[in-house]
Amino acid sequence: MNDFKGKTVIVTGAASGIGKSIAQSFAKKEANIVIADIDELNGKQLEQHMNQTGMNSLFIKTDVKKETEIKELITKSFEAFGAIDILINNAGISKFHSFFDLSVEMWEEVINTNLRSVFLCSREAAKLMKQGSCIINLSSTRAVMSESGTEAYSASKGGIAAITHAMASTLAEKGIRVNCISPRWIETGDYESLREVDHKQHFSGRVGKPDDIARTCLFLAHADNDFITGENITVDGGMTRKMIYEE
């Protein structure tokens, strides 16, 4: 039985990288896919490619920093497919700045793209979602560990982990589950160009791939896994569990 057939899945930031893999994975399960991205060129190309290969997708140009565009995204998605079953809040930017040069504008760009968007997309989608729907947010292991100069990004991802369990509590009464995924190194570029040392430093013996995250989304969204809510699942090949001493 195909459990996602005919379900409507909105994926933000789906024009490339991890979001594209998530969109394609649900599309292969015959879900209706809304590709929501600021990148019109790649978003439209993906829509065309998916629809030519028998999948059902709709690209809606969306800047997740803008509340009006998010409201339009949710309304248009509902009008097109008659329901919103799964929302994947994946859009994000990883911009790092020296702490003392970090301006309010730079801070707000990262926070509004990565974190405020999760609040706004979820609030608008949840108004229309029915019992059994779910929301999955992309956090990061940077919510719990750091390098210097990552304040805005780390704060945005820590905020995503926190808003995930807050929304899981609030939306439980509507029967909506909310979870998040914390990836670490997921290679969205040329996987073949990675070095042996890149792979070997992981317990898993390899760097992550977008499909690793897509499969976690399929798992979390599956109705059989409806006992999981408010959770943050780390998908990192074990890297966050690795104890490091410098020699």
Catalytic positions: 153
Binding segment toward ligand NAD, per CB under 6 A, in 51-59, 77-85, 185-193, 198-206? 185-193
User: Minimum distance between the CB of residue 237 and ligand NAD, rounded to whole angstroms?
Assistant: 11
Query: Per rule CB under 6 A, is residue 39 in the interface with ligand NAD?
Result: yes
**What values do phi and psi take at 161, rounded to 5?**
-60, -40
Alpha-carbon gap, residue 65 to 5, rounded angstroms: 31
Query: Per rule CB under 6 A, is residue 65 in the interface with ligand NAD?
Result: yes
Give the CA angle between residues 62, 63, 69 to the nearest 5°. 60
Query: Per rule CB under 6 A, is residue 185 in the interface with ligand NAD?
Result: yes
Type and span of the H or E element at 74: helix 67-81
Considering only residues 31, 50, 125, 138, which one is a binding residue for ligand NAD as defined by CB under 6 A? 138
Alpha-carbon gap, residue 156 to 163, rounded angstroms: 10
Alpha-carbon gap, residue 16 to 37, rounded angstroms: 9
User: Minimum distance between the CB of residue 36 and ligand NAD, rounded to whole angstroms?
Assistant: 7
Query: Per rule CB under 6 A, is residue 17 in the interface with ligand NAD?
Result: yes
Query: Per rule CB under 6 A, is residue 186 in the interface with ligand NAD?
Result: yes
Considering only residues 188, 201, 225, 240, which one is a binding residue for ligand NAD as defined by CB under 6 A? 188
Query: Per rule CB under 6 A, is residue 18 in the interface with ligand NAD?
Result: yes
Give the tokens for residue 133.
Answer: 């729907």
Query: Per rule CB under 6 A, is residue 237 in the interface with ligand NAD?
Result: no
For residue 72, which of 92, 51, 57, 58 has the smallest C-alpha distance?
58
User: Minimum distance between the CB of residue 146 and ligand NAD, rounded to whole angstroms?
Assistant: 13
Query: Per rule CB under 6 A, is residue 38 in the interface with ligand NAD?
Result: yes
Query: Per rule CB under 6 A, is residue 216 in the interface with ligand NAD?
Result: no
Considering only residues 25, 77, 140, 179, which one is a binding residue for ligand NAD as defined by CB under 6 A? 140
Name the region of 81 (left: φ>0; alpha: ψ -120 to 50; beta: rest): alpha
For residue 181, which of 137, 214, 218 has the smallest C-alpha distance?
137
Binding segment toward ligand NAD, per CB under 6 A, in 48-56, 60-68, 100-108, 120-128? 60-68
Residues 91-110 close enough to bind ligand NAD by CB under 6 A: 91-94
**What is the widest separation between alpha-carbon atoms in the chain?**
59
Type and span of the H or E element at 116: none
Alpha-carbon gap, residue 179 to 181, rounded angstroms: 7
Query: Per rule CB under 6 A, is residue 234 in the interface with ligand NAD?
Result: no
**Residues contributing to the site for ligand NAD (CB under 6 A):** 12-13, 15-19, 37-39, 62-65, 90-94, 113, 138, 140, 183-186, 188
